[in-house]
Structure formats: C-alpha cells, structure tokens
Amino acid sequence: MGRVNGKVAIVTGAASNPGLGHATAMALGREGATVIVTDIDLAGAEECAKAIRDAGGDAAALRQDVTSEDGWKQVIAYAQSTHGRLDVLVNNAGIAILKPIDELSLSDWNRQIEVNLTSVFLGCKYAAPAMRAAGGGSIVNLSSVAGLVGLQTCAAYGAAKGGVRIMSKVLAAELGKDNIRCNSVHPGFIWTNMQAGAQTGGREAAEASTAGLPLGRVGEPDDIANCILYLASDEANYITGAEFTVDAGMTAV
Ligand code: NAD
C-alpha cells in the first residue's frame, strides 16, 4: 500500500531532470498517486510521466504555463473530468532571476513575481474548489531559504518566495475548515538544472560552498521530494500553515 495511494496529484514544473518537481512526481507515482505532470516544456513533462509509468505508476503529462489563468482552469478541469478528483497540488514551477538591485530591471522584477508568486496564487485559487469537492486536500508550495532570510541578488526572487510563505499560511487559515492543508517547503542548496545554471563553478563549486553547513553537503532532489511526499500524504493530516526548511541547517545557524 503506497503512502499516497488513490490520490490524484498535480505537480507543476516537473520536466526538469534533475529537478525538484521531477523527483516529487516520481516519488508520488511510486507511492500510488495518479500524477498529472505539467510543465511549459511538454516533451520533458512527457518523459517524466513515461518514467513514472515505466516504474509501474500512473501518470499523464500536460503542457502548462503556470502564469496563465486559463491554463490553470484547464489543468484543474482535466484532473476532475479525467480522474474525478484532485487531492494534491505541488506548486513547484519557478525561475530564478538573481541580480543585484542596481541591475534588476522592472521587467525582471515583474517576470519573477509573475512566475514564482502569481502562479502560486492562481494554482491555489483554482485547486481549492476542486479539493473542497473531494472532501479535502493538500497544497504544497515551493518557497526557498530566500523566502526566509535576506540573500544577496534575491530582491525579486526572495520577495516572491517570501510571498509564497505567507500566502501559504493565509490559505491554511482560510481553507482549514474544508480540510484543505497548505504548507510551504524551503529548500536550501539542491543540485538541479536551476542550480547548475546559476553556478559558474559546477558541482565542485557547489560542494565547496556547502561544506560549511551543519550537514556539509549539497542537497539532492529526493531530499526535497521526501518532504513533499510526507506533506502530501495523510501522515501529515494535522499539519497546515507550517514552513519546512530542508536546507542542511543553513538557516538554523
Ligand atoms: P528547475 O529549473 O530545475 O526546474 C523548474 C521547472 O519549472 C522547469 O522544468 C521549467 O521548465 C519549469 N517552468 C519554468 N517556468 C515555467 C512556467 N511559466 N510554467 C510552467 N513551468 C515552468 O528548478 P528546481 O531547482 O527544480 O526548482 C524547483 C522549485 O524549487 C522552484 O520553485 C525553485 O525556485 C525552488 N527552489 C529550488 C532550490 C534549489 O536549490 N534547486 C532552492 C530553493 C527553492
């Protein structure tokens, strides 16, 4: 019996491999959920869904731009019409526009907020009625350590992720009566395509820059996927409005 057996889950931004959405979709699929894998990159989403099916799970891929309100309506309607319900939403899709404020343009700012914050608002807004109809659900929003503390070059990224953090608590307050839980996850330094793109020195430099953390290593996508899997499952059914730092102790010291 899988830990999320019979649940219908949407994971956004699940094409990137290695990526947090991909690892999360694989974990949910392995533990018995039907996974709707979405991404702006349809080919990558299809590869992820195929990997879930090849491992014995159930998954389908959809192209979705998380900044589109119509796109969200279609994805939620797909879950309800094809699978009859929606139990889990993982708002994972994101981008990182990391620049000091003197170089950060208004369009950089607007794009960052749109992809990392407005998208989460839309996802939660349209998932809530579907989860209500299913008798409850679990929303997991990807924030960041940059949504907890001030990191250089993160004026826009951190503002978006800080917004995700507090919006998750507001929705926990509003939706608890409907048995809908909403929590945020705050990854530290996890080796994904996003980090590989941001690090000039590659994996070696990443290892060096994390050596001083309490756990002294770079994170792997499964380190985050395991936390999200827990929050998605009924094991976490008394947890809402909480923030889970999964950062090797980065923000604890
Ligand atoms: P990634 O770049 O490897 O994957 C992100 C995915 O999102 C990609 O598949 C991309 O195609 C998709 N995407 C981007 N814009 C989209 C859009 N408009 N619509 C739909 N899909 C879109 O990134 P990752 O490292 O796996 O990060 C996943 C999430 O975790 C992000 O929200 C990120 O901010 C957050 N995060 C990551 C780290 C880390 O260390 N990797 C740390 C903190 C937070």
Give domain limits for the chain: 8-252
Q: Of 12, 32, 31, which is closest to residue 22 (Cα–Cα)?
A: 12
At residue 200 the predicted structure's pLDDT band, cuts being 50, 70 and 90, is confident
18 CA closest ligand 1 atom index: 3
CATH class of 8-252: alpha beta
Query: Which of 20, 63, 69 for mutating ligand 1's site (highest number of atoms within 8 Å of CB)?
Result: 20
Residues catalogued as catalytic? 157
22 CA closest ligand 1 atom index: 26
Question: Do 185 and 246 contact (CB within 8 A), yes or no?
Answer: yes
224 CA closest ligand 1 atom index: 30
| 224-246 core/surface letters (b: 16 or more CB in 10 A; e: else) | bbebbbbbbbeebeeebbebbbb
Find out whether the beta carbon of 151 lies less than 6 Å from any atom of ligand 1: no
Q: What pLDDT was estimated at residue 161?
A: 99
Find out whether the beta carbon of 13 lies less than 6 Å from any atom of ligand 1: yes
Q: Is the pLDDT of residue 143 over 90?
A: yes
Q: What pLDDT was estimated at residue 182?
A: 99
Segment 162-189 mean pLDDT = 99
At residue 124 the predicted structure's pLDDT band, cuts being 50, 70 and 90, is very high
Residues 45-97 have pLDDT tens digits of 999 999 999 999 999 999 999 999 999 999 999 999 999 999 999 999 999 99
**Which residue puts its alpha carbon closest to atom 34 of ligand 1?**
94
Mean of all residue pLDDT scores within the chain: 98
